[in-house]
Amino acid sequence: MAETVKGPASYFPSIEKKYGRPIAAWQELIRSSPLTRHMELVTWLKTEHGLGHGHANALVAHTLAETRDR
């Protein structure tokens, strides 16, 4: 039986389906942004790219956590 994905990554299938871009493309956009603070990035994704708050928050949280873990 497959393990259930939890946390921000649980949003990824619906993000890809709704917005038509792979998660890697969203993460690259976030990493290349001059913004660095979580809520600045969330607001930017919402206003400039039309994402909903939950989807933007999940992408930013996961991407920043990944960057910190490197």
Q: What is the pLDDT of residues 2-43, one digit of tens each?
A: 678 888 899 999 999 999 999 999 999 999 999 999 999 999
What does the pLDDT read at residue 70? 64
What does the pLDDT read at residue 35? 97
Burial class (CB in 10 A: 0-12, 13-18, 19+), 36: exposed
- pLDDT band (50, 70, 90) for residue 46: very high
What does the pLDDT read at residue 33? 97
What does the pLDDT read at residue 2? 61
What does the pLDDT read at residue 1? 54
Alpha-carbon span 4 to 49, nearest angstrom: 28
